[in-house]
Structure 1
């Protein structure tokens, strides 16, 4: 067996199936969910088993035979590891701490119950979520849409086993260091949320003329947005005017992809933007797909700098979100779920329109959008009715400069926070690398070597295995005589072929 990395002499390599009872879960039998002999119990699915924690905010129930419910009932200290889903979900998991009485697990979640406490459950889960990720991805099987790993394969997952006494020291050190790291990461995430609120605030205030031209050194001194209820427009300066979007801009929808005509030699291939590319106050151009369309359509929909892109459909919170096109990709067009607003006669700065759509517009689009079963949408006619505040032209440039000053302050802070978060990720990886290579805490020569603990587990399992009686090998002469068949009136016997 090739070992993934070097470990101290007092440690030993083993595999998951040797130190834990690993079992799969229950498959839901939809036809028998009304069976009165079944019992209803909570059960964990792949979505509940996250990397490093359990998400128990939405735990479903299932009806199963009582014996099945008992055999799969989770116990404190069980390690849950995902069997299937997207490839990056393979092997992710965490430790069960008896949060829900009588809970079981589905067939796409494996349960590893460590034998005789030979390895701390949290250490196994941490190892699976860090170094184990690469192993699970290499050993998983990929179907068209999903990846999976078999029970036999996961039992061969290599695991480093430290001495029991050293496990306690490693666990205590990791609890201390990782909890402090988690607190710092939570504080950074809270800062990001506050900056997102400031960004929304700036866009709202810029769009309705309440952003002071005297830039403060503190974002916290920004005025709060006025409350907007259904059908109510925010106050704007007396020199401003309310206009409908259709009055100041040409608004059109984009192209629908016709899969049957993508091989048409008369069509031209061009890049095109989808809903995923049009984010709130930014464009994500990391992955821009291409489409084949008639040359006339490509010319008609070709984006030009200053076009404002606004989403027509998707989740409800995506309606109307968008940003300004600045000519980043030559010949680019947009799909039918993205509207393009091209402002006429420079009556309004494109960024002011985009900030207004992302600020006040968020609530307006939610109120005026239509909801189907899975998706929300807003019609072209309704989009043209979107109310837009238009300031005098001589005020617009100063407004844009003021908003961009505030937003650049946020950009700088976000980069600093992103750098800090990345350092936290590297620090966590470094701590775990040291822990599982035996470098986090000192070794003690008085500790019982891990090989002895493992030997006891092997001996106990050998005793627990049922003794199988060996069967004598059968030869051809031991086989029973061929059966016979009665035929005809004379009762003649005929041998049947084997």
Structure 2
């Protein structure tokens, strides 16, 4: 693109000194000393720190206000606001040769180009050469200050709006969970609601025992509601099965085969996500016990997360499920919509989670546990009314979630547009009296060459001679040869 007046092309590596962090061994970790900054401490995905109590050179020491760039796993630009710390590998500490804030926003703007240059199949990373050689447009130093002032003014307003959207997003799921739990336990969902709890609600569980649940500790339900075991109100409760790989067909086939990722967090079946099919013969023979039909309620028993629940839709007359899913077929005393709602309830879900066995970070709930699970059951007419209310409020929740997602996407586009205007000379006007960026780059280059020359001179300093040689050199030199030519230097 044509450069604005006074701007110049350069490389990202010419605009600062980028110092990579140090690799700390586990044997060097300590409970005291400087915290070791890792990438997760910058991104917010991890809040705990390892510490280093040994001596640390200045280049690997980070102070509050230092500019850091993570160049592996998650690419990003950050300002450190903590105490004096140690810098871990895969993070650059940046010593800018230009305006610090301008360079921070410039790298942030160039993150997408850096991402396209990443390498690695596991933890992706940017090579140092790709980072240094990235071409950037540089304005004068005075314009850098003007750009930063204008850009940060716009971004501060945008950040306030983004924080507000993020706060709404954080509150949606807890509010939904609280609403579902209250409605399924018969608790009031408005100030004017009135319910009369009844101690008689556990009567139908009297004399029944369970190794996993204490039925006597279940809370009271409204009058006319009863706690019932799932096996007593469902016609069947069965888990799925997974055939051999060659019997599953991605993309197309006879019978749709559901996996946990096909059940969404908001209670739907999404078969557009990596659809898999099995043939009719496999469905009717090897997978006979895991067949499901429209109206069956599915929930996953392997997580995290647990509690993904949905009603099988009418798209197909029969479906099949894998071994991580349990199918509940409602009997005449319970409506499928109410059964799905109770299985999404935080109260019911927490009871299931307390029985789950954890192996290598994975939770597994037994099929027998699902059969003994106590569920709140009001009269069928009440179930239908409450399901209708829940559907209306959950639909409103989905619309709000969609609006939040749209606002988040718009804010990202707006941020990128602001950065684009800033670094293409369209955010603030150019001043013809500014010192051109080419002069600034020449000065940076001269200072770097002077520094490298000074270091090279120290490196070339002659070593000390042995004592015997020094003593021999101490004798007077021989007289010069008689010649009219000047001595050779």
Residue 110 of structure 2 corresponds to which residue in structure 1? 131
User: Counterpart in 1 of 2:225?
Assistant: 240
Secondary structure at the counterpart of residue 443 of structure 1: coil
CA deviation after TM superposition for structure 1 residue 407, in Å = 2.3
Aligned to 2:99, which of 119, 127, 132? 119
Q: Could you say which residue in structure 1 is the equivalent of 2:311? A: 324
Q: Post-superposition shift, 1:309?
A: 1.3
Encode CA deviations 1:347-374: one digit per residue, 9 max, x unaligned: 3122211221222213222333233341
1:103 counterpart residue number: 86
Distance in 2 between residues matched to 1:175 and 1:272, nearest whole Å:
51
Secondary structure of 2:61's partner?
A: coil
Q: What is the aligned partner in structure 2 of residue 140 from structure 1? A: 118
| 1:72-471 paired onto structure 2 within 5 Å | 72-75=60-63, 78-85=66-73, 89=74, 91-97=75-81, 99-106=82-89, 108-115=90-97, 118-120=98-100, 122-133=101-112, 135-143=113-121, 145-210=122-187, 232-249=217-234, 250-256=236-242, 258=244, 271-283=256-268, 285=270, 286-290=272-276, 294-295=282-283, 296-315=285-304, 318-328=305-315, 332-344=319-331, 346-359=332-345, 360-466=347-453
In 2, Cα distance between equivalents of 1:25 and 1:466: 25
Output one character per residue of 1:100-132: Cα deviation in whole Å (capped at 9) or x when no partner.
Answer: 2132222x22333213xx132x33333333333
Match of 1:58 among 44, 48, 52: 48
CA distance in 2 between partners of 1:330 and 1:180 (Å): 53
Deviations along 1:274-324, one digit per CA (max 9) or x if unpaired, are 333334442362423537684423443233111111121213xx2333122
How many Å separate the matches in 1 of 2:294 and 2:248?
30
Q: Please tell me whether residue 48 in structure 1 is matched to residue 25 in structure 2.
A: no
Deviation of 1:423 after TM superposition, in Å, equals 2.3
Aligned match of 2:487: none
Measure, in 2, the Cα distance between the counterparts of 1:330 and 1:248: 23
What CA distance in whole angstroms lies between the structure 2 residues aligned with 1:17 and 1:308?
A: 58
Q: Contact 1:309–1:324 (CA<8 Å) still a contact in 2?
A: yes
> CA offset at residue 245 of structure 1?
0.9
Decide whether aligned partners of structure 1 residues 330 and 147 sit closer, same or farther in structure 2, where only a CA change above 3 A counts: farther
- 2:24·2:88 contact (CA, 8 Å) conserved in 1? no
> Distance in 2 between the 1:365 and 1:311 partners?
11
How has the CA–CA distance of structure 1 residues 188 and 304 changed in structure 2, closer, same or farther, with 3 Å as cutoff?
Answer: same
Distance 1:177 1:230 in 2: 58
Q: CA 1:284/1:129 → structure 2, altered by over 3 Å: closer, same or farther?
A: farther
Mapped to 2, the partners of 1:56 and 1:6 lie a distance apart of 43
CA–CA separation in structure 2 for the residues paired with 1:450 and 1:76: 29
8 Å contact from structure 2 (residues 63, 83) kept in 1: no
Please report how far the alpha carbon of residue 380 of structure 1 lies from its aligned counterpart in structure 2 after TM superposition: 1.0
The equivalent residue for 2:23 is 27
How far did residue 381 of structure 1 move?
A: 1.0
For the 8 Å contact 2:12–2:132, the answer to whether it is kept is yes
Aligned length in residues: 430
Aligned-pair CA distance for 1:230: 8.6
Give, in whole Å, the separation in 2 of the partners of 1:6 and 1:330: 62
What's the TM-score once normalised by structure 2's chain length?
Answer: 0.77
> Taking structure 1 as reference, are residues 75 and 197 closer, same or farther at Cα in structure 2, changes over 3 Å only?
closer
Structure 1 residue 14 displacement after superposition: 1.5
8 Å CA contact 2:69–2:93 kept in 1: the answer is: yes
Could you tell me how far apart the structure 1 residues matched to 2:436 and 2:259 are? 59
Partner residue of 1:485? none
- The 3-state SS of whatever aligns with 1:389 is strand
- What CA RMSD, in Å, does the superposition of the two structures yield over aligned residues? 3.3
Aligned mates of 1:55, 1:171 — CA distance in 2: 28
Distance in 2 of aligned mates of 1:172 and 1:56: 32
Displacement of 1:262? 5.7
Q: CA deviation at 1:258?
A: 4.7
Distance 2:169 2:107 in 1: 29
Structure 1 residue runs of 5 or longer lacking an equivalent are: 213-218, 472-498
Supply the distance in 1 between the matched residues of 2:39 and 2:84 (Cα, whole angstroms): 19
Query: d(CA) in 1 for partners of 2:387 and 2:85?
Result: 59
Compared with structure 1, are the counterparts of its residues 16 and 270 closer, same or farther at alpha carbon in structure 2 (3 Å cutoff)?
Answer: farther
For structure 2, the residue ranges without an aligned partner over 5 or more in a row are: 198-212, 461-489
Closer/same/farther in 2, CA of residues 222 and 240 from structure 1, 3 Å limit: closer
